[in-house]
Amino acid sequence: MTYFEGFIVPVPDGNKDAFAAHANQLAPSLRECGVRRQLEAWGSDVPEGKNTDFYKAVDGKPGENVVFAWFEYPDRKARDGANEKMMSDPQMAEMGKDVPFDAKRMIFGGFEAVVEEGSAGGTYVDGIVVPVPNDKREDYASLAGRNAKVFREFGATRVIETLGDDVPHGQVTDFYRAVKAEDGETIAFSFIEWPDKAARDSAWQKIMQDERMQHGGGLFDGKRMFWGGFEVVIDTARAKQTAAASTPVTA
């Protein structure tokens, strides 16, 4: 199964272009270090919740948006090796000195995929973060796998469900605080890729009425789960596909 490094980042509203430029600047170095795919998505339809939400997850301030992002690796060994290279790369250290967001409030962690349906693609992403009891990991994966097939049927290009594997505790923010995790709980970091926002909005109306959808009764505390919709601003997989499509075929 694929391994993911997941991120939630607070970014000032006016820094969208600067953030995209920074992410694009990092992309070649990340690829050289071993990141198979880098995706960064800008908050587009992110609701505020009573208990938890994406803004609270990063201690969001007025005038800030959130970015939902991930790096993909073939496995944890590849992720660990890539992180070692990043930490010793002077060019990356230099680029990290001046970032268009508050890195102290960014949260991140390593997650192992338990469900992978479909192929990468699209311009819109739903991001979901869920507290899951450690003794319910297998039950959660089974439920998520069944639901993933419904999402795909209604137009999702890809559905990924992951569970925490290497999720650090932070001094200011982290994934555990984001869901008000209790003892014996881990984090599910999940996302659904869509062709575009219109396809996503149309699909959700049908999905919520579909009797096959199971909402996790008893598996996790839904009041501490949070979710939102995000507009893709950089996707290195799309960049590769575009480059391949534009390459002329020679005899």
3-state helix, strand, coil in the chain (%, to 5): 40, 30, 30
Looking from the CA of 38 toward its CB, the CA atoms found within 13 Å total 20
In this structure, are residues 221 and 195 in contact, taking their beta carbons and an 8 Å threshold?
A: no
Contact 187, 181 (CB under 8 A): yes
- For 88-109, give the DSSP string: H-HHHHHHTTS-SS-GGG-EEE
Beta-ladder partners of 150: none
123 in Cβ contact with 196 (< 8 Å):
yes
- Check: CB of residue 9 under 8 Å from CB of residue 67: yes
CA angle (144 as vertex; 199, 48 as ends), nearest 5: 60
Which CATH number does the domain 3-239 belong to among 3.30.70.100, 3.40.1390.20, 3.40.50.2300, 3.30.420.40? 3.30.70.100
* pLDDT tens by residue, the chain, 251 residues: 899 999 999 999 999 999 999 999 999 999 999 999 999 999 999 999 999 999 999 999 999 999 999 999 999 999 999 999 999 999 888 888 899 999 999 999 999 999 999 999 999 999 999 999 999 999 999 999 999 999 999 999 999 999 999 999 999 999 999 999 999 999 999 999 999 999 999 999 999 899 888 776 789 999 999 999 999 999 999 865 544 444 444 44
The answer to whether the beta carbons of residues 148 and 213 sit under 8 Å apart is: no
**Rounded to two decimals, what is the model's pTM?**
0.94
Rounded to whole angstroms, the Cα distance separating 36 from 3 reads: 10
d(CA 179, CA 17): 29
What distance in Å separates the CA atoms of residue 25 and residue 95, rounded to the nearest whole number? 8
Estimate the crossing angle of helix 137-153 against helix 197-207, to 10 degrees.
110
Structure tokens at 62: 């007025």
